[in-house]
Amino acid sequence: MSARFAIEKLAKAHKRDDFTCGNDRIDSYFRETVSQDVKRKYATCFVAKEIATDRVAGFYTLSSSNVPLTEVPEPLATRLPRYPTVPAVLIGWLGRHSDYAGQGLGEALLFDAIKTVATAPIGAHAIFADAIDDQAVAFYAAFGFAPLVRPACQRTISAPCWTW
Ligand SMILES: CC(C)(COP(=O)(O)OP(=O)(O)OC[C@H]1O[C@@H](n2cnc3c(N)ncnc32)[C@H](O)[C@@H]1OP(=O)(O)O)[C@@H](O)C(=O)NCCC(=O)NCCS
């Protein structure tokens, strides 16, 4: 990412009430709910701030998570210990303000999330993402995420985070 943006933890100073990424559920979550989730430690939230304007250009959230081993696709699953669940981190929400479309910011947010997980001092074998619609599925798939073995479910699984 260029020095145009800084990615930092969500703080009170970040203005959220005009955030719009093109998905109403993501917009209202970021405007109205995310701070409560952060306060309760259900999620951490990172924002991309445009340095010149202080505008919030995008955000993502991370939460501890796990997934049943039976839902991990082959050949990933065969290499894993036979514990019932796989420790992971969930990218619950990710959005980029529509004013900054197509400038690589979505990719930068995703890679920052992966870097945050990969360098955190807590074991997390994989990174999962909740894909909100088919476009989001395509976005994650473009970066190597693969679907979980769960019919009609839009959650996706990435390669194990040590590969990043
Ligand atoms: C998905 C989203 C974050 C992408 O952000 P963006 O800033 O437009 O994406 P980038 O400019 O970083 O795109 C980088 C690459 O990602 C890929 N990509 C981006 N959006 C994609 C999509 N919907 N489907 C497939 N690939 C996509 C492309 O390969 C693109 O590379 P290119 O330059 O060769 O086209 C953004 O469209 C958004 O906020 N959408 C609404 C919310 C959403 O769907 N969030 C996803 C998680 S639920």
Of all protein residues, the one whose alpha carbon is nearest to atom 17 of ligand 1 is: 139
Dist CA 109 CA 59 (whole Å):
7
Of all protein residues, the one whose alpha carbon is nearest to atom 47 of ligand 1 is: 94
Burial (Cβ within 10 Å: 0-12, 13-18, ≥19) of residue 71: middle
Written in H, E and C, the secondary structure of 68-125 is: EHHHCCCCCHHHCCCCCEEEEEEEEEEEECHHHCCCCHHHHHHHHHHHHHHCCCCCCC
Supply the pLDDT for residue 163. 33
Q: What is the pLDDT along the chain (164 residues), one digit of tens a residue?
A: 557 999 999 999 999 999 999 999 999 999 999 999 999 999 999 999 999 999 999 999 999 999 889 888 888 889 999 999 999 999 999 999 999 999 999 999 999 999 999 999 999 999 989 888 888 988 998 998 888 887 655 555 554 433 33
Question: Structurally, how many domains does the chain consist of?
Answer: 1
Dist CA 79 CA 115 (whole Å):
23
Nearest Cα to Cα of residue 125 among 158, 87, 79: 87
SS3 161: helix
Pocket test for ligand 1, best of 139, 153, 154, 158 (most atoms within 8 A of CB): 139
**Domain of 18, in residue numbers:** 5-163
Supply the pLDDT for residue 141. 87
Ligand 1 centroid – CA 78 distance (Å):
31
Residue type, 140: Y
Ligand 1 centroid – CA 98 distance (Å):
11
Supply the pLDDT for residue 131. 87
Q: Report whether residue 104 contacts ligand 1, using a CB cutoff of 6 Å.
A: yes
For β-strands 126-130 and 85-96, DSSP reports them as parallel
Of all protein residues, the one whose alpha carbon is nearest to atom 10 of ligand 1 is: 104
Q: Report whether residue 23 contacts ligand 1, using a CB cutoff of 6 Å.
A: yes
CATH of the domain at 35: 3.40.630.30
- Calculate the CA dihedral of residues 27, 29, 62, 110 and round it to 10 degrees: -10
Supply the pLDDT for residue 148. 85
Q: In degrees rounded to 5, what are phi and psi of residue 108?
A: -65, -40
Ligand 1 centroid – CA 139 distance (Å):
5
